[in-house]
Amino acid sequence: MADENVISPEGQPAEEKGSVKLDLYFWMQALVMALVSLILVFTLVGRVIGVVGSSMVPTLHQSDLLLLQSIGYTPKQGDVVVLRKPSFMTEPIVKRVIAVEGQHVTVDYGAGTVSVDGQVLDEPYINELMVDTLNPYMTVLDVTVPEGSIYVMGDNRNHSSDSRDQRLGTVDKRYVLGRALCVVLPFRNFGPVG
């Protein structure tokens, strides 16, 4: 009668040794799949970028890490975007799209409102009532957005350099790096960007 408990030369039952190899194989396979998935997400969806400054408070905060949609994205009114205009700032900036090409924007400091095509925007996301900061560069307050451009503003209007600033003005869509989809870090701020 044959012995059912075959012992490997290393002293372990052969069945146990094969099981460890199989477990290791499945763990390595899972790790490779996770890495491939991450690479695909960052290649097809976009990139991860950090928030610098307070111009988007209360929506975003200093050091929030954002996942961006870059490929196949066209800016739309209300989207939060990351853009880079080297002549204005060396680092990418995060702003909200207020208007797109062909729309007319009017900023009224007296009323504390922003209008697009004559309609005052409902903006529950802003930090506080907008006031005139007396910044001499904030002169782009009544403009029709040119073709291929957008008009952007920070949600923390009184502490934001944005399209009101003549040095930035309306922004060519080619400067847009992508739309902020969600905050990925820190975990206390994790969630979609709205």
pLDDT digits (tens, 9 = 90+) for 79-135: 999 999 888 888 899 999 999 999 999 999 999 999 999 999 999 999 999 999 899
Q: How many CA atoms lie within 13 A of 11 on its CB side?
A: 0
| Structural tokens at position 128 | 């506080």
Residue 55 falls in the annotated catalytic set? yes
pLDDT for the residue 187: 84
This prediction has a pTM of: 0.76
Contacts of residue 118, Cβ cutoff 8 Å, sequence gap at least 6:
104, 106
Angle, CA 61 vertex, CA 55 and CA 62 arms, to 5°:
85
Residue 85 falls in the annotated catalytic set? no
pLDDT for the residue 43: 58
pLDDT for the residue 23: 82
pLDDT for the residue 20: 79
Catalytic residue among 85, 87, 95, 149: 95
Q: Which residues of the chain have pLDDT under 50?
A: 1
Catalytic residue among 19, 21, 55, 85: 55
pLDDT for the residue 42: 61
Question: C-alpha distances in angstroms, 181 versus 12, 69, 137?
Answer: 52, 6, 31
pLDDT for the residue 144: 98
pLDDT for the residue 31: 84
